[in-house]
Chains A and B, each alone.
Chain A
Amino acid sequence: MVLTLALAAGAASARPAADPGVTGSEIVIGGTIPLSGIAQSYASVGRGAEAYFKHVNARGGVFGRRITYKYLDDQYNPAQTVQATRQLVQQERVFAIFNTLGTEQNLAVRSFLNAAKVPQLFAGSGATTFGRDYRRYPYTIGFLPSYVGEGKVYARHILRSKPNAKIAVLHQNDDYGRDLLSGFRAGLGAKRRNIVATQSYDPLSTDVSSQVARLRSSRATVFMVIATPPFAIRGLVAANRLGWRPQVYVNQVGAATNIMRIIAATANPRTIQNAITLISVKDPTSPRFRNDAGMRLYRQIMRQQLPGGHVDDGFHVYSMAVAHTFVEALRKAGRNPTRASLLRAVASLNIRNNPFLLPGVHVRTSARDRFPLDQGQLQRWRNNTWNPLGKVISARP
């Protein structure tokens, strides 16, 4: 026992005293990503960003400095996020926390990072609080379109296309699900009474078929699915089994092309025919982007920096969109970036050429607008793929 303690003590490293994370040749940032455990499919969100930074480094970095991105596994457990973030801040002395994934996970370290005056950039969560509460937490900013804004977009589309349709909602019973549902309700306004049935599921449950059966008995003709991939699949497969054919709306987190194809293959493809979702990031499987310059760059980076990575995995594209935004912010922060100059840059972004976002989707922030990605384009599911429906629209909460 003494030996164990002594060995581990020997491994403790000395603390450098200089400006944290920035040297003449390097900028060190870090974050947590679930690399193992229940949510390990999100690991691509770390690896894709790392691949993009390697690509930038191979081209000289930012003002001659290479970006080193240390991402640690938190197994999607917020208590481990706290410990890993403490390690990144207090031991690795990172310049900023970047791309940490998950709502609970980012909430768990937000107060700590703001007290430590470490930027918490582009949190991987659509919870509205990350964009809304910047006065209290000035070091924190999110990235994903807010769930409230997304809910409003679906509501507005329903008001326009089927103003009197009866609506059934299935939602995850946590902050994410309720956040999106509240936006959806707010977007419907007086028509919220058209929601004739609402059912929720626990994120640790395994089945939603009884909820779907109850929703079906409401005779709704619109089905709003606010669910993560496994539950979106189960919910829509259950709807098909019951012979229910409503107009389906699926939220962005559950609407990746590969997920939709699983549903189409498992259930009757007609179940999700004409389903609608909101998307901001380019879809790597879409034939539309086969010759798109941005997606060519994406495939090149995947080939060179992440061989063996799954090119069709949309999380890789998302993570490169985040990494691109960080690099642009860092450029804007000047030749000798400080945490303060980085934060100023992050709060004044206007990126119109992010190659990984849909054409027309811009990354914009200001002192009072802390939602970097607040646009998207509705998509309709036809011919086994998402097809754009109308123009790029605002998804502000």
Chain B
Amino acid sequence: MLATRTAIRVLGFALFVAVVVLLPSRLSDFRASEFALIGIYFIAILGLNVLTGYTGVISLGHGAFMAVGAYTTAILMLGRPGLEAGGLSPPGWLPVGDGMKDVYTIPIAALVAAFAGALFGLPALRLSGPYLALATFGVAVATPSVIRKFDTVTGGSGGLNLFDSPNLTGAIFNAVHVPGGRTLTFNDWLYYLTWGVALGLFVVAWGIHHSRLGRSLRAIRDNEIAAVASGVGLAWHKTLAFSLSALYAGAAGSLLAISAFSVQPGAFPLDRSIALLVGLAVGGLGSLAPLVAGAAFLVFLPQWAQEISQAPGVPGVIYGAVLIALMIVLPTGVGGLLRRVLGPLTSRLYPRSQ
């Protein structure tokens, strides 16, 4: 019986992969870049889900970890020669390298963000509930200012331009050569890069979900005292959740830097952190694949609101109204809806006792 359930999951994942692989052939070049953006948000929301969905810790500061990832990628891509050519003078002790291909910077950016997450997690986890949320909020508020402060390496408010860097794989109108003799447009390349990373991290998130770690985190969310009584180390697990979550945000930030071929402090305002939480709520806390819907919501709803009217204030009101309506109709997000609709169907395939 367990085999049936696993088979359904594998089938579902295979379908997911097939859609991701085949989609660009049905999309215009520009749309592919939009779907790449959805992939980026998907990664960040998956990460936030580890923290908020499983562990029950609300973070209003994940934009900050995206910024860490984005700046790590940008600085490594430019390297010392690139930064100095841009009129900057990175401090000598900082290992910025001599320029690195964009793809290789992604795992480094993710790890640096994970480290930042752990650093922040250690002291902050003494706080609980809304107090911790407020501390993360503070991080989000301070991020752009902190970036401006270290302008010898971050480029200050003007940011860093990656478009002219030789380490950006393919400029906009050049084809990107990929293994197997095929060529892709820049937007399709972005799409596959983003979704490649997203699917990999999705599998990891799925692994966390079904592992001992995932169960421990959910135990913390449901009842901290009971969790501790069952032998779950609170500080360690929360810090680990923070770190893992920041790792995802860092990978997303890194991809955002590549996709926007630049980084600026203005790209990581408070709104960005709040948007991630909105995407998570729309996708469904604790869900996995349905979080794609949350990511799509973040990309498409503001556009649709704008198409309806550009009159002062109207797009914002539409966005807010749709969000409120959605939360009334789908209080558990798209994930909750799918569980309600698909649950009775798939559960017929195996006995309830499972």
Contacts and interface: CB of A to CB of B under 8 A. Distances in A.
A74 to B, nearest CB: 10
Nearest to A78: B264
Interface in A6-38: 8-9, 12-15, 35-38
Contacts of A111: 161, 163-164, 261-262
Interface in A85-138: 86-87, 90-91, 103-105, 107-108, 110-112, 115-116
Given A35-B306, A78-B260, A107-B161, A116 B266 contact: no
A37 B271 contact: yes
Interface of B: 15-16, 19, 23, 26-31, 33-35, 37, 141, 144-145, 148, 156-159, 161, 163-164, 171-173, 187, 256, 259-262, 264, 266-267, 269, 271-272, 289-290, 292-293, 296, 300, 302, 306, 310, 312-313, 315-316, 334
Contact of A104 (B15, B28, B264): B264
A204 B30 contact: no
B256 A79 contact: yes
A91 B315 contact: no
B306 A73 contact: yes
B176 to A, nearest CB: 15
A15 B32 CA distance: 13
B119 to A, nearest CB: 23
A43 B312 contact: yes
Q: Which of B37, B145, B267 has the most CB of A within 10 A?
A: B267
A87 B30 contact: yes
Contacts of A78: 159, 260, 262, 264, 266-267
Nearest to B29: A90
A108 B261 CA distance: 8
B302 A73 contact: yes
A112 B33 contact: no
A174 B292 contact: no
Interface string A169-185: 00001111000000000
Nearest to A83: B37
Contacts of B271: 37, 75, 77
Contacts of B29: 15, 90
A68 to B, nearest CB: 14
Contact of A175 (B145, B156, B290, B296): B156
Contacts, number: 140
B30 A91 contact: yes
Given A36-B316, A202-B148, 13 more contacts: A4-B296, A12-B28, A14-B28, A15-B28, A35-B315, A83-B34, A86-B30, A103-B158, A104-B157, A111-B163, A111-B164, A174-B156, A175-B158
Contacts of B16: 1-2
B148 A1 contact: no
Nearest to B174: A115
A76 interface: yes
B148 A112 contact: no
A196 B265 CA distance: 31
Interface of A is mostly: helix
A36 B313 CA distance: 7
Contacts of A43: 312
A311 to B, nearest CB: 15
Given A5-B19, A104-B158, A91 B28 contact: yes
A79 B306 contact: no
A72 interface: yes
Contacts of B158: 103-104, 107, 175
B248 to A, nearest CB: 18
A277 B293 CA distance: 51
A67 to B, nearest CB: 17
B264 A108 contact: yes
Contact of B145 (A13, A110, A204): A204
Q: Closest 3 interchain pairs by CB?
A: A111-B163, A174-B157, A79-B267
A374 B264 CA distance: 28
A2 B19 contact: yes
A251 B266 CA distance: 23
B260 A83 contact: yes
Interface centre among A37, A103, A107, A110 (most CB of B within 10 A): A107
Given A174-B148, A174-B156, A79 B264 contact: yes
Nearest to B158: A175
B33 A204 contact: no
A380 B26 CA distance: 61
Contacts of A79: 256, 260, 262, 264, 267
